[in-house]
Amino acid sequence: MRWLIRNWHLKLGALALATVLYTGLVFSGSFNDQTFPAVPIAAIGQPVGTYVLTQELGTVDVRYRFATDSPNRVTIGSFAVTIDLAQYKMSLAPQPQSLAVTVRSLIEGVTVLDYAPTSVSVAIDRLGVRTVRVVVDRGDVPPGLEIGATTVSAQDVTATGPDSLLQRVDRAVARVHIDQSGIDVHNQVQLVPVDIDGRLVPSVELTPLTVNVDIDVRTVETSKTVPVRPVLSGVPATGFEVGEVTVDPAVVTLRGAPDVLSGVTEVLTNPISLATARASVTATAVLVLPPGTRLSAAGASAPTVVVQISEEIGTRTFLVGVLCSGQPSGSACLPGLSQVAVTLGGTVNALAALDPATLSVTLEATGLAPGSHILEATLTVPRGITLVGISPATVTVTIVPPASPTPAP
């Protein structure tokens, strides 16, 4: 009997090994080992008043065994993969700490063999509360606009979040957009927590989350000096014409938006009537300002416009008879032409009223001997009329002496 119990533990181990091998041979056709990849890790047992800084806990690859004849289908929901946040040492918060991963099967016939990774690094922080100021960020203001008063419905708000992140929050920013049209801002704007450099601080909640922002937007005005151009209507009386037009002051200074003033080159007046005028017209002009502009000096005097009206000057040509003057007594003066063209200048009305019958061209023949002579034509013009020219300017005349008396028979 002694030989039976000799090295009994070795014999017992061999028997157990043989049993396992035999069982494996028996059931090798009834079970299957597989790996289910990327099963997400869920957190449980989070301490009260804390915030999990590690938002992404990662996944686990689970190797499992299941019966081939099992009616259940293995899915991602067949496993519970968790970490217990209650194991995190809050005294070391918010430093990352390694927590063990636990995996268990949720369906019958599935046995978890192993999994990887078996632990993950997690950071948890305590939740804190603080008050932060509200700042309006208007961005880039379009050219030609200026910002007036800015009103915000709240000067500060409450920020809640993990202490380590909460300490980075410098302000709550309300970002608004200033439109090129210059329309005032009346918006409800969402707030965002930012650090001192303007970078977004994540995982921090603001209460209230929105504020009302009102911004007075005005157009930037500039000035421009342009000439005044009078607008004249109607025509003077017949025979009168418009002369020099003067404006005092000749220019005005306008104020308005730069884009408006850029297209303004002059300022017109309301029409000034010259109908049937026979004398100079003086009028106080009413300016017609371009839309979107105003006078730089609100109390500036209106310009005075003076329009010179004078009689119209013209010329007129008449055919005038030719007469000799001063020829010797008894002699005859015979002009080579009976008429010449006389051009006179003066006001249109005076020329129109002139009677050609009252005009005559004179050839001075005083002291001329009998024969042919070339004489200069002269004309005495009425008052207010000027002589422009006589054509031809000279006329050939013949002086015929008196006839000798016939002897008595």
Q: Using an 8 Å Cβ cutoff, are 47 and 90 in contact?
A: yes
**Residues 61 and 147 both lie in one domain:** no
User: What CATH number is associated with residue 161?
Assistant: 2.170.120.40
Which pLDDT band holds residue 21 (cuts at 50, 70, 90)?
very low
**Residues 148 and 97 both lie in one domain:** no
Task: Count up the domains in the chain and report the number.
Answer: 4
Q: Using an 8 Å Cβ cutoff, are 246 and 211 in contact?
A: no
Range of the domain at 176: 126-219
Does pTM top 0.75 for this prediction?
A: no
3-class secondary-structure state, position 175:
strand
406 belongs to a structural domain: no
Which pLDDT band holds residue 140 (cuts at 50, 70, 90)?
confident
Comparing 136-150, 234-248, 386-400, the range with the smallest average pLDDT is 136-150
**CA 247, CA 241: separation in Å to the nearest integer?**
18
Which pLDDT band holds residue 223 (cuts at 50, 70, 90)?
confident
* pLDDT score of 241 more than 50: yes
106 belongs to a structural domain: yes
189 belongs to a structural domain: yes
**Residues 107 and 7 both lie in one domain:** yes
The residue that leads in pLDDT, 10 or 122, is 122
**CA 176, CA 134: separation in Å to the nearest integer?**
13
The amino acid that residue 127 corresponds to is L
Q: Where is the domain boundary, 263, 290, 311?
A: 311
Give the pLDDT confidence score for residue 17 in this predicted structure. 57
CA dihedral sign, ordered 229, 233, 236, 238:
positive
**Residues 301 and 383 both lie in one domain:** no
What is the DSSP code (8-state) at residue 81?
E
Judge residue 165's burial from the number of C-beta atoms within 10 Å of its C-beta, 0-12 exposed, 13-18 middle, 19 or more buried. Answer: buried
407 belongs to a structural domain: no
**CA 381, CA 355: separation in Å to the nearest integer?**
12
**Residues 307 and 318 both lie in one domain:** no
Average pLDDT over residues 374-400: 93
CA-based nearest residue to 224, from 269, 290, 141, 288: 290
348 belongs to a structural domain: yes
Average pLDDT over residues 150-156: 92
**Residues 383 and 298 both lie in one domain:** no
Give the pLDDT confidence score for residue 136 in this predicted structure. 92
Average pLDDT over residues 305-316: 92
Q: Where is the domain boundary, 199, 219, 239?
A: 219
Q: Using an 8 Å Cβ cutoff, are 338 and 322 in contact?
A: yes
Which pLDDT band holds residue 23 (cuts at 50, 70, 90)?
very low
Q: Using an 8 Å Cβ cutoff, are 124 and 88 in contact?
A: yes
Q: Where is the domain boundary, 80, 106, 122?
A: 122
Percent of the chain predicted with pLDDT > 90: 65
Q: Where are the beta strands (DSSP E) in 144-276?
A: 145-152, 156-162, 171-175, 185-194, 205-207, 210-219, 222-229, 232-233, 240-248, 251-256, 267-269, 272-273
Which pLDDT band holds residue 16 (cuts at 50, 70, 90)?
low
* pLDDT score of 328 more than 60: yes
Write out pLDDT tens, residues 377-389.
Answer: 999 998 889 999 9
Q: How far is CA 377 from CA 350, 358, 372, 395, in A?
A: 23, 16, 15, 7
**Residues 148 and 47 both lie in one domain:** no
Give the pLDDT confidence score for residue 233 in this predicted structure. 94
Average pLDDT over residues 90-101: 94
**Residues 210 and 140 both lie in one domain:** yes
**Residues 61 and 143 both lie in one domain:** no
Judge residue 17's burial from the number of C-beta atoms within 10 Å of its C-beta, 0-12 exposed, 13-18 middle, 19 or more buried. Answer: exposed
b/e map of 321-347 (b: 16 or more CB within 10 Å)? ebebeebbeebebebeeeebebebbbb
405 belongs to a structural domain: no
**Residues 240 and 337 both lie in one domain:** no
Give the other-Cβ count within 10 Å of 193's Cβ.
24
Give the pLDDT confidence score for residue 7 in this predicted structure. 59
Q: What is the largest CA-CA distance in the chain?
A: 229
User: What CATH number is associated with residue 102?
Assistant: 2.170.120.30
**Residues 95 and 41 both lie in one domain:** yes
Write out pLDDT tens, residues 251-264.
Answer: 999 988 887 888 89
For 320, the token pair is: 């005038």
Count Cα atoms within 13 angstroms, Cβ side, for 106: 13
**Residues 95 and 151 both lie in one domain:** no
Strand order from edge to edge, sheet including 222-229: 287-288, 267-269, 222-229, 251-256, 293-295
